[in-house]
Structure 1
Amino acid sequence: MAGSLDIRMKVVSLCHYLQGPAACQYLADMGADVIKIEPLKGAFERHWSGGNSWVTDVSAFSLAVNRNKRSIAIDLKSREGLEVARDLIAGADVLVENYRPGVLDRLGLGYEAMKAMNPSIIYASASGLGATGPAAHRPGQDLLMQARSGLVAATGGGEEGPSVVGAAVVDQHGGSLLAMGILAAYVRRLQTGEGTRVESSLFAAAIDLQVEALTKYYAAPDRAGRIERGRNCGSWYHDAPYGLYKLADARIVLSMNDAGKLANALDSDELRALCSIDRYAERDRYAAVMARVLAPHRFADVERLFDAHGVWFEKVRSYEDLREDPQANHMGVFNEIDVNGKAATLVNHPLRYDGGTPPIRRMPLYPGTDSRDIMTELGLSAERQAELIEKGVIGQAEQAR
Structure 2
Amino acid sequence: MTKTSSPPQAPRLLDGMRVLSFCHYLQGPAAAQYLADLGADVIKVEPRNGAFERHWAGASTFIEDVSVFFLCANRNKRSIALDIKHPDCAAVLHRLIESADVIVENYRPGVMDRLQLGYDAVRRIKPDIIYASATGFGADGPLKDRPGQDLLIQARAGLIGASGATPTVTGCAAVDQHGAALLAMGIAAAYASKLVTGKGTRIEGSLFNAGIDLQAESLTLYYSGKQTRERFRRDPHLGTWFHEAPYGVYQLEDAFVAISLNAIGKIAEALDSDPLRALAGKDAYAERDLIASTLANILLTWRFSALSEAFEIAGVWYERVNDYDDLLVDPQAIHNGIFSTIPVRGGEATIVNHPLKYDGAVPDLRRMPPEIGEHGEEILASLGFDQSEIDALVEAGAVAPAPSNRPS
TM-score (norm 1): 0.96
Distance in 2, matches of 1:369 and 1:7, equals 21
Q: Which amino acid aligns with 1:155?
A: S
Which runs of structure 2 are paired with 1:209-248 in the superposition (5 Å)?
Answer: 209-248=214-253
Which residue of the partner structure matches residue 54 of structure 1?
A: 62
Question: Which letter does structure 1 place at the counterpart of 2:50?
Answer: G
Q: Is the 8 A contact 1:13 1:34 kept in 2?
A: yes
1:3 alignment counterpart:
none
* Cα RMSD for the two superposed structures: 1.3
In the alignment, is residue 112 of structure 1 matched against residue 117 of structure 2? Answer: no
Does the CA-based 8 Å contact 1:370-1:396 persist in structure 2?
no
Q: Contact conserved, 2:78 with 2:370, CA < 8 A, in 1?
A: no
Aligned AA (2:263) = D
Q: Which amino acid aligns with 1:154?
A: A
The reply on whether 1:388 has 2:396 as its aligned counterpart is: no
**Which piece of structure 1 moves more, 277-286 or 223-232?**
223-232
In the TM superposition, what is the alpha-carbon distance from 1:399 to its structure 2 partner? 2.1
- Say if 1:396 and 1:307 are closer, same or farther in 2 by CA, change over 3 A: farther
- 3-state SS of 1:399 partner: helix
Match for residue 150 of structure 1? 158
- 1:259 CA drift (Å): 1.4
Counterpart of 1:250 (choices 255, 269, 284) is 255
Letter in 1 for 2:388: E
Q: Please give the alpha-carbon distance, in whole angstroms, between the structure 2 residues aligned to 1:134 and 1:309.
A: 54
Which moves more between the two structures, 223-232 or 164-173? 223-232
Deviations 1:81-112 (A, max 9, x none): 23212210111000000111111111111101
Q: Secondary structure at 1:187's aligned position in 2? A: helix
Q: Does 1:341 align with 2:346?
A: yes
Of all paired residues, the percent bearing the same amino acid is 54
Which of 198, 201, 205 is matched with 1:196 structurally? Answer: 201
Q: 2:248 aligned with 1:261, yes or no?
A: no
Q: Which residue of 1 is the match for residue 10 of structure 2?
A: none
Native 8 Å contact 1:145 1:203 kept in 2: yes
Spell out, residue by residue over 1:256-292, the C-alpha distance to the aligned partner (whole angstroms, 9 max, x if none): 1111111111010111110011111111110000001
Distance 1:222 1:349 in 2: 38
AA aligned to 1:136 is K
Partner of 1:296: 301
Identify the residue that residue 177 of structure 2 maps to in structure 1. 172
Q: Does 1:90 align with 2:98?
A: yes
- Displacement of 1:148 in angstroms is 0.2
Paired with 2:217 and 2:118, the residues of 1 have a C-alpha distance of 36
CA 1:387–1:9 in structure 2 vs 1: closer, same or farther (change >3 Å)? Answer: same
Unaligned 5+ segments in structure 1 are: 1-5
**Counterparts of 2:95 and 2:402 in 1: how far apart (Å)?**
21
Matches of 2:389 and 2:37, distance apart in 1? 32
For the pair 1:331 / 2:339, whether they are aligned, the reply is no
Partner of 1:205: 210
State whether residues 44 and 79 of structure 2, in contact with CA within 8 Å, keep that contact through their aligned partners in structure 1: yes
1:359 equivalent in structure 2: 364
State the shift of 1:400 in Å.
8.2
User: For 2:403, what is the secondary structure of its paired residue?
Assistant: coil
User: Which whole-Å CA distance do the structure 1 matches of 2:333 and 2:229 have between them?
Assistant: 40
Aligned to 1:287: 292
Matching of residue 28 in structure 1 with residue 33 in structure 2 = no
Q: Is the 8 A contact 2:377 2:402 kept in 1?
A: no
Query: Quick check: 1:377 aligned with 2:382?
Result: yes
Is the 1:25–1:67 contact (alpha carbons within 8 Å) kept by the matching residues of 2?
yes
Partner SS state of residue 45, structure 1 = helix
Note the residue ranges of structure 2 that are not aligned, 5 or more in a row. Answer: 1-13
